[in-house]
Structures are given as structure tokens and as C-alpha cells.
Amino acid sequence: MKKLIFGWIAVKSSAFILIWLLFAYGTAQTSKPKQAPTPTPTPSPAVDTSVNRPTSDPYTGDLARFDRENRAEKLQIERVMDTLGIKEDSRVADIGAGGGWFTAIASKRVGESGKVYAVDISQASVDYIENRKKKESLSNIETVLATFDDPKLNKDSVDAVLILNTYHEIAEPVKYLRNLFPAMSKGGLLGVIDREGSGGDHGVDQSFVKDEAKRAGFEFVEEYDFVNKDRMDYFLVFKKQ
């Protein structure tokens, strides 16, 4: 009889211990601190890319006219390249390359270990520069057929960019510069040489250029007027931080 009683007590004790353990486990599970929900990322504010000014129609004339005598001296193009930090090994983009006048000059400056991207929206210009590249044995040139709002350059592919007498023709300048931004290396310099004008007369007020570049993310560095003696042409330099 005593054995039965002790057996029954042992069973009850085991059951009690089991119930207590289950209760303790459940309490521990429910008392775990809840993880805070992952916050939804806030989207970057949209940038206003609209442009409230006229732009000029792209040039469609004789591409050879840009290779006129003394142009390099008048623009002080060697000084322009120095200002933009273009040297041997540099990767350079010539935006609105036209007949490749600056492309060829930059090609010789950067040497075989450098690279020059001749960017234009005109297939005729791209073909013209391809022929020039072969004729002048400029193997470090790569032509790029762009669109009106995108230079079509790969990310981190250029150290310096020159937009020479072309900015006034870019129909969507803020969009264009925003698409150019990731293609430039950190600290890379963007140079804009253009003529004072209204936008529709193959010139653009430099205040518009400064504002549009700022909206695209570039920092204004300096303004120069040595590119033309009549002071009609200006040279603006911007930086990618």
C-alpha cells in the first residue's frame, strides 16, 4: 500500500514539475522583447529638372569648320586642360564633340594610357570622329552616341569633362547633368565654355548654367574669362564632391 502511495506521489510530482516547466518556458517566450519594425526608407526628394528658358537647335552644318586656324590659341585650350586637371592617364569626356576638334587635342594630352570619350547625339558626328580616329591613329578615343538627356557614360568612367560651346543646345540640361554626375569620379571637374546669350541664339546666360549645375548636384568652383578676348565667352568649372 505504501508503495502505491509513494508511486502516486511521485507521478503527481513529476506531472507538477512538467507543468511548471512548460509554464516557465511559455512565460519566457512571451516575455521576450519585441523587435522594433524596420522603418520604411524615406524616398529622396524629387529634383525639379524643368528649364524655363529656350535652348538652341543642335548644329548640323560642316563639322570641319571647328578645326579652324588659331582656335586653340584663342581659347587657350592648353590652359583649359590644365585648369581641369587633364594630364597623362586622365579619362576625359568631350560632350557635344562635333567633329572631334577637342577630342583629338585631349587624346594627345592623355596619351596611350588615358581615354577620351567623344560624346554626341548625332550619328553623323560619331561617324566623322570614327573616321578621324583611324586617319590620325588616335586609338585612345571611344565614340559614344548619346541622347538629348543622357551622355550614356558608364559609372565612374571619367575624371574630367568639357562641354565646349554646346551647353546652350542641351534640351534637358538638369536631367543631362544628373545623368552625367555618376559617370564622374569623386573630385572630378566639369568645365563649361559657352557664350553669353538668351538660350535660343547659340548662347546662354552663365547664371542659368550655374543654377542648373547646382540642381544636378555639382559644386561651383570658379569662373574664368580667358577663353576669348572679347569676354563674350566664359569658362565655368564645377566639381563633383
User: What pLDDT is recorded for position 88?
Assistant: 98
Q: Which residues pair with 94 in a beta bridge?
A: 118, 162
* Mean pLDDT, rounded, for 155-169: 97
In sequence order, what are the residues at sequence separation of 6 or more whose Cβ sits closer than 8 angstroms to the Cβ of residue 216?
Answer: 47, 173, 174, 177, 178, 180, 181
Considering the domain boundaries, does residue 60 fall inside one? no
Q: What is the CATH number of the domain that holds 202?
A: 3.40.50.150
**Mean pLDDT, all residues of the chain:** 84
Considering the domain boundaries, does residue 152 fall inside one? yes
* Mean pLDDT, rounded, for 74-78: 94
Q: Which residues pair with 147 in a beta bridge?
A: 150
Considering the domain boundaries, does residue 135 fall inside one? yes
* Mean pLDDT, rounded, for 141-164: 98
* Domain span holding position 172: 70-239
Answer yes or no: is pLDDT of 40 > 80.
no
Considering the domain boundaries, does residue 44 fall inside one? no
Considering the domain boundaries, does residue 91 fall inside one? yes
Q: Which residues pair with 235 in a beta bridge?
A: 193, 224
Considering the domain boundaries, does residue 46 fall inside one? no
Answer yes or no: is pLDDT of 82 > 80.
yes
Cell digits of residue 71:
582656335
H/E segment holding residue 108: helix 101-110
Considering the domain boundaries, does residue 56 fall inside one? no
Higher pLDDT pick, 2 / 160? 160
Higher pLDDT pick, 190 / 171? 190
Answer yes or no: is pLDDT of 91 > 70.
yes
User: What pLDDT is recorded for position 42?
Assistant: 42
Question: Domain tally for the chain?
Answer: 1
**pTM above the 0.85 mark?**
no
Q: Residue 200 in contact with residue 55, Cβ under 8 Å?
A: yes
Determine the Cα–Cα distance for residues 91 and 88; give it in Å rounded to an integer.
9
User: What pLDDT is recorded for position 180?
Assistant: 99
- Percent of the chain clearing pLDDT 70 (strictly above): 78
Considering the domain boundaries, does residue 134 fall inside one? yes
pLDDT in tens, 98-126: 999 999 999 999 999 999 999 999 999 99
Q: Residue 184 in contact with residue 147, Cβ under 8 Å?
A: no
Determine the Cα–Cα distance for residues 160 and 190; give it in Å rounded to an integer.
6
Q: Residue 88 in contact with residue 109, Cβ under 8 Å?
A: yes
